[in-house]
Amino acid sequence: MRVLIIAHAHPDFSKGGGELAAYQMFQALQQRGDDAWFLAAHREQSLSHGGTPFSVLREREILWFAPMTDHFLIAPSNRQTVWKDFRELLERLQPEVIHFHHYMNIGIQAIQQAVQYRKTVGKSVRVILTLHEYLVICANDGQMILRQTKELCTEANPPRCAYCFRDIGKQPEDFFLRNRLFRACLTGVDAFVAPSHFLKKAYVRWGLAEEQIAVIENGQPPVGKLLPRGLRDDEVRGEFAYFGQINQFKGLDILLSALDFLPKASRKKIRVQVFGTGLENQPEAFQQTIAQLRERLGRYVVFHGSYRTEQLPGLLSTVDTVVVPSIWWENSPLVIQEAFKYGRPVICSDVGGMREKVRDGVDGLHFSCRSPASLAEAMVKASEPNTWDHLHRNTPVPVTVVACLEQHDPLYFGKTNDLQKRPAELSPWAVLANVLN
Amino acid sequence: MIDANNAISATRVHAHNRALSKCRAVIDDIFPVGETGFFVVGGIAGIGQYTREIWLGSDTEHCDILQQASRYPRPDTIAETGSHSDYRISDSGFMAFIPDGMLRLREERLAVVCDGEVLYHLEVRKMPICGMPPLETAKRLLRHVPLHGGRMRELFERQIAPAITTLDFPNSATIKPTIREYGVMPKQPIASVVVPLYGRLDLMEHQLSEFRLDAPFCAEVELIYVLDDPKLQDSFTSFCHAVAPLYGVPFRTLTYGINLGYAGANNIGARVARSEYLVLLNSDILPDQPGWVQTLKAIYQQLPDCGALGVRLLFPDGSIQHDGMRFERFPFLDHLWINAHPGKGLPASEASLPTTTTLVPAVTAACLWVSREDFFKTAGGFDEGYLIGDFEDSDLCLKLLVKGRRNYLTQEVVLYHLERQSQSLSSETRLLREQITAYNCWRHTQRWDAMLSRLCEED
């Protein structure tokens, strides 16, 4: 069976979890003997030819030059590449399954083109979309937090969205049109995949049919769990770590501030290691906050800079617990899966996808989102060796890529959904209410 | 007043204080109208009982502009001259349309005269006229009309309307549009949807996105987009080329390089339409259900003597935008008749149950079903004398009523109308908009006052 996997970026050039998951599926399909192709978008002019948006990276891996200009309507700057070039590609490749892992860069209209292609070709072609984020629901980079205050947003409707975007003059009608356009573009998709129940719930609230969304966690290449870090007699489990891009939504400032809230007894026994870069791209104010915390905390904070995925086992062996202090909902953070597969418990904010993926008191601990004091409490608990052992023993083995692929088979082989039915409009506005479980 | 776009302006020449105290005349604006006329707006004040005149022509052969002028309050004029004027405030301003004024403007000056004695001259600087487009001239005329103070009607009737009527507006009947087709048009369409475009093109894409999901629409409806905005002409063609294959909805486009206004654009689209029935549709209307055109046709065929069939329109938040129009006198515009929208802003669920089709005096042309024959033969198309766009729809509905047709509003077909407030307008632009609306409103009342009074007494 010929499967075309489409991603908004290629892991060779971009480090996000979404493109990595897409690529791993492509590789797993190849390994089990399926006729798989990978189409990845990119924005590097230098990698593209003139006269065509396509170029080749390796056999069966096609790159698509797709600079996107309209982020609000997720529209490509050049529509012709969607209805002409992409369509021609489909007609040449003749895939039986077209699996989108994203619509950023290529434009959400590409999904409709796949649906139209299915109509003209007459035989069974399945169009699948894996949802890795909330862009369709929230124009604020898909984060579902308010632009000015950065608070968590619990309800999306055009008047509220317009109010959130009042600084750039958006009106409720703009969001009305945006929602309708997206609903139209997603009509005809056979099945949606959500890596977390939280994300599925958000999309059901937005208007996708419950039955059409399957919750399938992203697979991970299988590895062995690491041994715990060796401790001296009087030592506690005091090595905590932050992995990943440093940006203002991932809460590094909360983690560093938490060290100020530690009780005296714990203060000299707990340290935070930071793996990752990106601070220099953040707003001035955030950079200053981190710099000040760094200076005050002295040797209790270590910034290691960037790391490669291959280095993870080595780095995690020097660490007891991974902290994911994001201030937004998240979906299924890759760092949680990576921590678990190597046997490291996770402390995370008690909201959204994080809360779902980490079981409080079982394989990790929750803390009250954005509260350094609450995080400090959790860190003290996790530093207690017996508690830590319990959490460590319960860290789950993440689903393998092969198992993840097998969960997709019913979607790949199922019957084509020929409904022209568009995602419902629940009330005049779609409501994203009460998603806090 | 000196204005870069001004063809002529007037400045005072050699006036002594004594002369000024007797008669202080100020010209605020003077500009050509049509081929031979000009329009003058100014203020006049003075101390003492004199017969004051402003002469156009020579000292020996002249006419008095003030005789032809209409007077209205200009408190700012009095303020400028101090409170010692023997002129009432109510007469301190004047505006006049002089149909042959440009021909009679000798020696390029106007004389300010008291009791037959020339006190001083106002020099009129004549510069080469580049030919202000008729709409710009009309706007310049309307800018001076005070909407309050009770003189508005008289100014429209005696000065403004006569001036506007001499302007040479382009008429749709003389225009031959360029027609392009995108996709394969339905062979025998059951209806032609005509959509005028002005100012923005993105809404067209949103409409196509909705129509794409409406299979009966794509199969049986002729969709016509009329570009009424020459500024967008270049980008329009490439826009259509980029967007048409993306949605696969067949449509035709009409372009003609000028701005005709709402009435003209619709008239041209309707003229070119191939089917028996028209659906006039605004570009900011979005359908909610597939098959709505077919539903409208079915409803129309059940209604006796139907002229115009309108639909319920909702704001995006689900409240009523239009549920049929009713005529009311508007006290704030000197009791002219306006088109009221009962129920506007109410949640649709509260507005009325059950959904029905009812007789109404008029419906909006934002979404209007009418037979092509009724549109042209019975009603004569949209009246292109309204400026820019307003009241053409109620005008059309009244023309149909006069010929024995009936107008209906159906709540069984509902669409969204993204009637947006234009937030970014300056107060000056907002005022001009109001003045243009007032003119159209006055013109509408001039024609229909008697009939509307009768209609509303019968209620």
Measure the CA angle with vertex A314, ends A309 and A317; round to 5°: 125
User: Residues B378, B381, B387, B393: is their CA dihedral positive or negative?
Assistant: positive
Of B248, B286, B318, the CB nearest to A428: B318
CA neighbor of A217 nearest in space, from A188, A244, A195, A241: A195
B320 burial level (CB within 10 Å; 0-12, 13-18, 19+): buried
A181 at B interface, C-beta within 8 A: yes
Q: From first to last of its 437 residues, what are the pLDDT tens digits of chain A?
A: 899 999 999 999 988 888 999 999 999 999 999 999 999 999 888 888 877 888 889 989 999 999 888 999 999 888 888 998 999 999 999 999 999 998 889 899 999 999 999 989 878 899 999 999 899 999 999 999 999 988 999 889 999 999 999 999 899 999 999 999 999 999 999 999 999 999 999 999 999 999 999 999 999 888 989 999 999 888 999 999 999 999 999 999 999 999 999 999 898 899 999 999 989 989 999 999 999 999 999 999 999 999 988 899 999 999 999 999 999 999 999 999 999 999 999 999 999 999 999 999 999 999 999 999 999 999 999 999 999 999 999 999 999 999 999 999 999 987 655 434 455 543 333 333 333 22
Looking at the complex, report in whole angstroms how far the Cα of residue A113 sits from the nearest Cα belonging to chain B: 8
CA neighbor of B263 nearest in space, from B344, B181, B379: B379
Looking at the complex, report in whole angstroms how far the Cα of residue A383 sits from the nearest Cα belonging to chain B: 52
Mutate to test the interface with A, among B209, B241, B349 (most CBs of A within 10 A): B209
A420 at B interface, C-beta within 8 A: yes
Chain A neighbors of B215, CB-CB under 8 A: 420
SS3 assignment, position B117: strand
Most distant pair of Cα atoms in chain B: their distance: 81
Pairwise CB contact (< 8 Å): B213 & A422: yes
Closest chain B residue by Cα to residue A424: B288
Closest chain B residue by Cα to residue A114: B246
Closest chain A residue by Cα to residue B347: A428
| Residues near B136 by beta carbon (within 8 Å), at least 6 away in sequence | none
Residue with tokens 């088109």: B339
Pairwise CB contact (< 8 Å): A181 & B206: yes
Residue B456 is predicted with a pLDDT of 83
CB B268 within 8 A of CB B256: yes
Looking at the complex, report in whole angstroms how far the Cα of residue A173 sits from the nearest Cα belonging to chain B: 7
Of A78, A171, A185, the CB nearest to B420: A171
Chain B neighbors of A171, CB-CB under 8 A: 420, 423
- Taking one residue from A and the other from B, the number of pairs with CB-CB distance under 8 angstroms is 54
Q: Which helix (H) or strand (E) holds A376?
A: helix A372-383
Looking at the complex, report in whole angstroms how far the Cα of residue B2 sits from the nearest Cα belonging to chain A: 36
Of B286, B317, B424, the CB nearest to A159: B317
Pairwise CB contact (< 8 Å): B243 & A173: no
Q: Which helix (H) or strand (E) holds A392?
A: helix A385-393
B345 at A interface, C-beta within 8 A: no
Pairwise CB contact (< 8 Å): A180 & B418: no
Pairwise CB contact (< 8 Å): A184 & B209: yes
| Residues near B72 by beta carbon (within 8 Å), at least 6 away in sequence | B90, B91, B93, B94, B95, B146, B149, B151, B154, B155
Residue B75 is predicted with a pLDDT of 75
User: In this structure, which long-range contacts are made by residues A427-431, counting pairs with CB atoms below 8 Å and at least 24 apart in sequence?
Assistant: A427/B318, A428/B316, A428/B317, A428/B318, A429/A157, A429/A158, A429/A159, A429/B317, A429/B318, A430/A137, A430/A156, A430/A157, A430/A179, A430/A205, A430/A206, A430/A207, A431/A155, A431/A156, A431/A157, A431/A205
Chain B neighbors of A422, CB-CB under 8 A: 213
Neighbour order of strands in the sheet with A346-349: A301-305, A271-275, A239-243, A321-324, A346-349, A364-367
Chain A neighbors of B316, CB-CB under 8 A: 158, 172-173, 176, 428
Closest chain B residue by Cα to residue A157: B317
Pairwise CB contact (< 8 Å): B423 & A169: yes
A158 at B interface, C-beta within 8 A: yes
Chain B neighbors of A181, CB-CB under 8 A: 206, 209
Residue B80 is predicted with a pLDDT of 62
CB A227 within 8 A of CB A345: no
Of B209, B246, B416, the CB nearest to A79: B246
Pairwise CB contact (< 8 Å): B286 & A180: yes
CB B114 within 8 A of CB B22: yes
Looking at the complex, report in whole angstroms how far the Cα of residue B203 sits from the nearest Cα belonging to chain A: 9
Residue B424 is predicted with a pLDDT of 58
Instruction: Give me the residues paired with residue B118 across strands.
Output: B113
Instruction: Give the integer Cα–Cα distance in Å for A108 and A423.
Output: 15
Looking at the complex, report in whole angstroms how far the Cα of residue B254 sits from the nearest Cα belonging to chain A: 23
Neighbours of B377 (CB within 10 A): 11
CB B182 within 8 A of CB B240: yes
Instruction: Give the integer Cα–Cα distance in Å for B374 and B369.
Output: 10
CA neighbor of A317 nearest in space, from A370, A380, A273, A258: A273
Chain A neighbors of B286, CB-CB under 8 A: 177, 180
Residue B351 is predicted with a pLDDT of 56
Q: Which helix (H) or strand (E) holds A367?
A: strand A364-367
Chain A neighbors of B206, CB-CB under 8 A: 177, 180-181
Pairwise CB contact (< 8 Å): A187 & B213: yes
CB B194 within 8 A of CB B222: no
Pairwise CB contact (< 8 Å): A172 & B212: no
A177 at B interface, C-beta within 8 A: yes
Residue A435 is predicted with a pLDDT of 32
Digit-coded pLDDT (tens) for B389-414: 899 999 999 999 999 999 999 999 99
Closest chain A residue by Cα to residue B245: A83
Examine residue A423 and say whether the peptide bond preceding it is cis (omega within 30 degrees of 0): no
A76 at B interface, C-beta within 8 A: no
Q: What is the pTM of this model?
A: 0.85
A176 at B interface, C-beta within 8 A: yes
Chain A neighbors of B209, CB-CB under 8 A: 180-181, 184-185
Instruction: Give the integer Cα–Cα distance in Å for B435 and B155.
Output: 12
Closest chain B residue by Cα to residue A159: B317
Q: From first to last of its 459 residues, what are the pLDDT tens digits of chain B?
A: 344 444 456 676 667 777 777 888 888 888 888 888 889 999 888 877 788 899 888 777 888 999 999 999 887 766 665 555 666 677 889 999 999 887 777 667 888 888 888 888 887 776 445 568 899 999 999 999 999 878 899 999 999 999 999 999 999 999 999 999 999 999 999 999 999 999 999 999 999 999 999 999 999 999 999 999 999 999 999 999 999 999 999 999 999 999 999 999 999 999 999 999 999 999 999 998 999 999 999 999 999 999 999 999 999 888 899 999 999 999 888 899 999 998 888 888 755 555 789 999 999 999 999 999 999 999 999 999 999 989 999 999 999 999 999 999 999 999 999 987 655 567 888 899 999 999 999 999 999 999 999 988 765
Of B242, B286, B316, the CB nearest to A172: B316
Q: What is the ipTM of this complex?
A: 0.78
A422 at B interface, C-beta within 8 A: yes
Q: Which of residues 200-259 of A touch B (CB under 8 A)?
A: none
